[in-house]
Chain A
Amino acid sequence: MDSKLIDVAEGRAKIRVYSGGNGQTMLFLHGAGGFLKDDPFLKALMSKYRVYAPLLPGYEDSEGADRLRDMLDVTLHSYDVMDALGLEKPIVVGHSMGGMIAAEMAAVAPRQIDRLALIAPAGLWIDKLPLPDIFAKLPFELPALLFHDVEFGTKLMTAGQNFDDMEFLNDFMIMNAKRLGMAGKLLFPIPDRGLADRLYRVRARTLVIWGDNDRLIPKDYGEAFKRQIKGSELVIVPKAGHLVGHEQPDAVLKALAKLG
């Protein structure tokens, strides 16, 4: 996996991009948590595709978060990133918050994106199914929300360290404040920035992928996306939570193959 910093929008942002693999070109947009160390899902995607995975400002050493205040800013920033990378009609895949951004991109400029995969995307709100408030969770509470297999998830998130270790916790809190500070501009206090009003514009062949046991954004939201994006297909992956690509990478790859 390669990793480098690139200038975006004439230096208005400077962001880190992970890339690697061979195959069709794919732009992958991460969720609110960013990437894990040696992210296993990213690796799985790189086994089949030529993947470009940019980090939003505020994540790791990507800079330029101050000028990104709302959904439109982030949507246009993501197109700026595509330009900076010289990508032409990549398969656009987004997970969670990244799925929300990918869906916005496809709705705002529908002729720019032909193939789209939304993996447990945020962006809709159903009153009868209010989502848990991830901004009011303590670190040790997160794995139970994010994973079907909580023990596996805890290990993955802490990489062998421990949320009771003060030093690890301090570092985690600072990184988390940067990441979720940025994410909050799209997701706080309710992860709805009007996407439902714009989904009718999406023209891309769209795949919606959901973990059967997603406790953060339940799979009913997948049904809602499927209903609102014309011709889209919903794939439910068994034995997976919100981080479906980390828990069941093979099943997700198999689903993505449907996009051709």
Chain B
Amino acid sequence: MKFTWFNLMPWPYLPDDFREKHHSVWVDLPSSLYDPVRGHDVYNTYLDQLEYAETLGYDGIGVNEHHANAYGLMPSPNIMAATLSRRTKKAALVVLGNSIALYNPPVRVAEEFAMLDVLSGGRLVAGFPVGTSMDTNYVYGTVPALTREKYAEAHELIMRAWAEDEPFAFNGRYTKLRYVNCWPKPIQKPHPPIFIPGGGSVETYDFCIENTYTYSYLSFTGYLRAKKLMDGYWERVSKANVDQSPYRAGFAQTICVGETDQEAERLYAEHVNYFYNRCLHVFPGFADAPGYRTIKTLQAQVLSQLTRASLENLATLTWKDLVEGGHVIAGSPATVRDRMKDLIKGLRVGNIFCLMHVGNMPDEKTRHSTKLFAEQVMPHLRDMWPDFAEDDRFWIHPMSKQASARKSKMPAEVA
């Protein structure tokens, strides 16, 4: 099993009446709610937590990309990954990822990801999301019905930029370049492992299977609700006649560990409530720009997930509802162990993105939960997939010896 400690980097100071006063947590919320001076501490605390997770033995540390979003303060995940690359040594840098349809030219992603792979000595996991409609269409202005075509072209360009050893010309519909020439190139060959966040479209399942990429389902609604979607993925894997390695799949899960079930509730309930109530207050008119999803996906999918009623439902969920409904896996180490086993077996996943900083959770509580999980849960889950222990296709291949960040010496020390 591979565990990646993930921080969404939410803004922890949304007012109590946020839902009543504001239209949406994403796209059109006023930036006056953000305070850059407090933001300085917020960023640094979150980065410290990611580094702390490495010291506890998490396999990866994860960042992602959102725009105009108060629960995801990383418009540029690559900047975060770059700071982490210098202060960590072992953990995979899981960048989930760069919304490749947004970069002009997309070679920029090939270059920056290569930089990160070189900086980190081959520890990059490269995520290529299509990007949510909120980010990609509403905030970054990509025409919804052209998003997927643009994405496919960007993917082709990036993979070729990494693969080719000579400059080449690329005559795409959206990008025309006479000289594609990626300097630097990534350390990992033929390329860093690639994770594709998906939300249930068959096209994305097949894309991952064909390219041997990891399909990652990033949901906040937990493992019980994810069963149907992941079953659909595995069905597609069977049909494609490839192996059933669990490392073909990943799942994001909110996890809160306390010494006891009671302690977990006492420590974490208010922060879980902050996240599911305030942070997920997304205006449904931004959820799905017309043309962003394929009609096939729309017809197959539960539109009700995107209705206002269902989003409002989230807000009224109590700790008990959220824990019983599996949105959140919470409790004592023993409780969390059992539920994690259900998740891992039930969804057949080799990658867990552990969402352990939740909403406005303070640093000490975040570290408490993170440590308990690392010491008392993770070791019991390590060997859930013994038949695939040797499968290294979906994870990083770092250099054996990594350079260290040296401290500058003061003149006196030189003398």
The residues of A with any CB-CB pair to B shorter than 8 Å are 65, 69, 135-138, 141, 166, 169-170, 173-174, 176-185, 188-190
Contacts and interface: CB of A to CB of B under 8 A. Distances in A.
Given A69-B146, A173-B303, A177-B295, A184 B286 contact: no
Interface stretch (B52-60, B136-144, B227-235, B327-335): B136-144
Nearest to B146: A69
B153 to A, nearest CB: 12
Interface residues of B, number: 26
B145 A179 contact: no
Given A178-B295, A180-B290, A189-B138, A136 B145 contact: no
Contacts of B143: 184-185, 188-189
A169 B290 CA distance: 14
Contacts of B27: 136
B328 to A, nearest CB: 28
Interface string B280-295: 0001111011111101
Interface string B303-335: 110011000000000000000000000000000
* Interface residues of A, dominant DSSP: helix
B298 interface: yes
- Which of A138, A169, A189 counts the most chain B CB atoms within 10 A? A189
Contact of B141 (A65, A136, A173, A189): A189
Given A178-B295, A185-B145, A136 B290 contact: no
Given A189-B143, A190-B141, 4 more contacts: A138-B284, A173-B303, A177-B288, A188-B143
B291 A136 contact: no
B308 A177 contact: no
Contact of B290 (A135, A166, A189): A135
A228 B269 CA distance: 61
B283 A136 contact: yes
A184 B145 contact: yes
Given A177-B291, A177-B293, A182 B145 contact: yes
A173 B288 CA distance: 10
B299 A174 contact: yes
A82 B182 CA distance: 47
Nearest to B23: A136
B146 A185 contact: yes
A130 B138 CA distance: 15
